[in-house]
Amino acid sequence: MNTSSEKYSLVCGMEVHAELKTKSKMFCGCKNDPFGAPKPNIYTCPTCLGMPGGLPVANKTAIEWTIKLGLALGCKINLFSKFDRKNYFYPDLPKAYQISQYDIPFCYEGVVETSEGPIRITRIHLEEDTGKLQHKTVDGKKVSLVDYNRSSVPLIEIVTEPDIKSPTQAKEYGRKLRQIMRYLDISDCDMDQGGMRLEANISIAPAGSTKLPDYKVEVKNINSFKFVEQAITFEMERHEALLEKGTTPIQETRGWNPNKGETFSQRTKEDAEDYRYFPDPDLPPIRFTQDQIETLRSDIPELPEAKTSRWIKEYKIEERYAKMLSENRTAAEWIESIFKQADTPNDSAKAIVNKKISFEVGEKPSAIIKKIADISTTDNVDTKKLVLAIQATMKENQDAVQKFKAGDKKVIGFFIGQVMRAIGKKIDAQLLRETLVAELSK
Ligand code: ZN
Ligand code: MN
C-alpha cells in the first residue's frame, strides 16, 4: 500500500537495535538488568564506567546469540570477526567510544520475508549500549542526570538494504523481527523501555525509477511499530511536497513526536560524521569453526513460519488459526500439545482463537479438550429439534403464551427453563432466547 501519491515510491531501509537478555553485560561481569534495577548506577564497575585501567572481556553468550539470530535470518557468518572502537563524545558514553563492529560484522546477507516481498538484511553486528540520560528539574534547576546501569549492555544492530516499499511493510518487518528474537529467547524486545529501538532511513523516488535518490532522512529512536508506520507516512508526504516545489529534502536526522504525529529536525548532517573507527586493541579477534556454527544452528528452535506450515500439514489447521496461534513460542508449544491429543485439532484451534472457552496457557491439554467437547455438544443441538421442543412447551403452557402476547416479557425466563429441561442438554443461551422469542411472537 502506498499512502503517498502514485507519482513517487518509497525507498527505505531500517536499522533496529535490540538489547540482549544475557545475565551479565557485554564486556564486564556487571548485572544486565537496566529496567529492573532499584537504583541508578548500581550495576557498574570500572570497565563499564570507562575508568582508566578497566579492561573489557567479551561476553561469549552475546556473541553466540548474535550468530543464532543471523542464522535464523538466513545470514552468512564471518568465521573471523573483531570489535572496533567507534569514537564520539557524549555524556552517556563514559569511554568516549562505543565498542562496536565496523567492517567485519558477525553476520551479513540475510533476508526477512514479508507479505509485501523480501527485505534483505545487510548485516547484524554486536555492540554495547550507552548509559541513559535523563533531563529533569531538581530544586527548580534544569539538570541532566546519567544512569550507567545500561552502559555496556549487549546491543545488536540489524541493518537492512533499502528494500522497504511501504509504511505497512516497515511495520510488518519490525514485528517479524521482534517475534523471531523472542522465539530465540535472546531479547525481550521491550519497546516501551527502549529495549528495542527502530530507525528508518527514508527517501522517495519517482515511481519506476531504479536509481537511489541522492538524499535520505533518518528518523531515529522510534519506540513502536505503529509510530514507525506513521513516521514514514509523514515523511513521504513531506518529501513529496518539497520535491513538487523543486527542492530536495535536506539530509538530516529527525525525531518522532507521537503527540503531534509528526517528525522534527534534530540535526543536519552536512559532513559525514568521523567516528575514527579502529580495531579495539583490548579485545582479541574472534574466530569460529564451521562446526561451531553448525552446533549453534542445531540449537535454533522451530520458527513461527515453519511451525505454521507444519501445523497446516500435520494437524490440518486452517492457515489463519495456525498463524495466530504460533505468535508466541510458549503458547504455541502448549497449543501443539492440545493438537496432539485432540481428535479434530482444527476445532480446538478455532475454539481457542475465538476464545469460546476460558483457558490459561499451560493448562492440562485433556482439560481443554473436554471444555471444547462440551461446547461442541452445545453447538450441535440442531435448530429443528429446538423449535419442536419450544412448540411442545408452548402447547403445554398456553396461559404463559397468552401472558407473553399481552406484553409480559418476564415469562421468557420461565420458557427458557422449561425448554432446557425438555432438551436435557446445555444449549447456547443466545440461540435459545432468539428462537424462543421468534416462536412466541408468531
Ligand atoms: Zn561493569
Ligand atoms: Mn548502533
Residue 185 CA to ligand 2 center (angstroms) comes to 21
Is the pLDDT at 308 greater than 50? The verdict is yes
Share of the chain above pLDDT 90, in %: 77
The C-alpha cell that represents 270 in the structure block: 552536512
Residue holding cell 541532566? 144
Residue 182 CA to ligand 1 center (angstroms) comes to 26
Cα dihedral 254, 256, 261, 262, rounded to 10, equals -10
Residue 270 CA to ligand 2 center (angstroms) comes to 20
Residue 22 CA to ligand 1 center (angstroms) comes to 13
Q: At what angle do helices 383-396 and 429-440 cross, to 10 degrees?
A: 50
3-class SS string, 187-250: CCCCCCCCCEEEEEEEEEEECCCCCCCCCCEEEEEECCHHHHHHHHHHHHHHHHHHHHCCCCCC
What three-state secondary structure class fits 411? helix
- Distances in Å between the Cα of 267 and the Cα atoms of 12, 219, 221, 253, 378 are 20, 11, 14, 5, 64
Give the number of the ligand closest to the Cα of residue 50.
1
> Are 28 and 162 in contact, with CB atoms under 8 Å apart?
no
Residue 153 CA to ligand 1 center (angstroms) comes to 9
Q: Which of 98, 148, 150, 149 is nearest to 125 (CA)?
A: 98
Residue 16 CA to ligand 2 center (angstroms) comes to 8
Instruction: Give the range among 215-229, 261-275, 365-379 with minimum mean pLDDT.
Output: 365-379
Per-residue pLDDT, 115: 95
Mean pLDDT, residues 97-125 taken together:
97
Residue 128 CA to ligand 2 center (angstroms) comes to 8
Share of the chain above pLDDT 70, in %: 96
**In whole angstroms, what is the distance from residue 168 CA to residue 186 CA?**
26
Residue 95 CA to ligand 1 center (angstroms) comes to 12
Q: State the average pLDDT for the chain.
A: 92
Give the chain's radius of gyration (CA, Å): 30
Q: List Cβ neighbours of 9 (8 Å cut-off, separation of 6 or more).
A: 2, 165, 204, 205, 206, 207, 208, 209
Q: Which long-range contacts does 236-239 make (Cβ < 8 Å, 24+ apart)? A: 236/3, 236/4, 236/8, 236/10, 236/167, 236/202, 236/204, 237/3, 237/4, 238/263, 239/8, 239/202, 239/203, 239/204
pLDDT tens figures, 375-384: 766 555 677 7
Scanning 48-118, the segments in alpha helix (DSSP H) are 60-72
Per-residue pLDDT, 140: 95
Residue 157 CA to ligand 2 center (angstroms) comes to 6
More confidently predicted of 381 and 199: 199
pTM, two decimal places: 0.83
Reported as type and span, the H/E element at residue 312 is helix 304-315
**In whole angstroms, what is the distance from residue 316 CA to residue 330 CA?**
21
Residue 156 CA to ligand 2 center (angstroms) comes to 8
Amino acid at 344: T
Domain boundaries, the chain: 8-291, 302-379, 383-440
Mean pLDDT, residues 156-172 taken together:
98
Q: Which of the four pLDDT bands, split at 50, 70 and 90, describes residue 271?
A: low
What three-state secondary structure class fits 137? strand
pLDDT tens figures, 282-295: 999 999 999 999 99
Domain 383-440 fold is Arc Repressor Mutant, subunit A (1.10.10)
Give the number of the ligand closest to the Cα of residue 54.
1
Give the number of the ligand closest to the Cα of residue 27.
1
Q: Which of the four pLDDT bands, split at 50, 70 and 90, describes residue 218?
A: very high
> Are 122 and 108 in contact, with CB atoms under 8 Å apart?
yes
DSSP code for 300: P
Is the pLDDT at 1 greater than 70? The verdict is no
Mean pLDDT, residues 83-107 taken together:
96
In 66-176 the beta strands, taken as DSSP E runs, fall at 76-77, 80-81, 84-87, 97-100, 107-114, 117-128, 132-138, 141-147, 154-160
Per-residue pLDDT, 12: 98
Reported as type and span, the H/E element at residue 337 is helix 329-341
Q: List Cβ neighbours of 19 (8 Å cut-off, separation of 6 or more).
A: 34, 129, 153, 154, 155, 187, 188, 195, 196
Mean pLDDT, residues 40-50 taken together:
97
Give the number of the ligand closest to the Cα of residue 56.
1
